[in-house]
Amino acid sequence: MNNQDCIFCKIVAGDIPCFKIYETENILSFLDIGPVNKGHALVIPKGHYKNLWDIPADLGKELMTAAQVAGDAIVKATGADGLNLLMNNNDAAGQLVFHAHFHLIPRFKDDGLKLWDQGEYNDMDEAMALAQKIEKMIK
């Protein structure tokens, strides 16, 4: 299952080179060409899935295992103090390539990167109402 216009599918097919760091039958991990910090890598399924919700559960487990393996190696190789694992899903969340992928970003004390600002609920009733609404969507 490939998308001919997808840059990640072209990387999987070998049409575009990459700096591969880890590979299994279903997963590929390679350095991001525009790294936030050196060692920033991507973990992708080889099949084309748009985002988190399209990934089959079994493949999701493989992706997480690959993120653990590659993430551990990145931290060791770069001497990082930590690692961010993140995934952007859809335009509003900053997804630029519509082929599901995790970012593994090595982090260093005082690297100048900032996490997003935190907000707050008006009160605990608002938080409870939203939690209940979300829970109903799961059931």
Q: Find out whether 10 and 19 touch, Cβ atoms under 8 Å.
A: no
43-76 exposure pattern, b = at least 16 Cβ within 10 A, e = fewer: bbbbbbbebbeebeeebeebbeebbebbbebbbe
Q: Which domains does the chain have, with CATH numbers?
A: 7-138 (3.30.428.10)
Is residue 2 predicted with pLDDT exceeding 70? no
pTM of the full structure: 0.91
Active-site residue set: 101
Question: What is the tens place of the pLDDT at every residue in 86-129?
Answer: 999 999 999 999 999 999 999 999 999 988 889 999 999 999 99
Distance between CA atoms of residues 129 and 134, nearest Å = 9
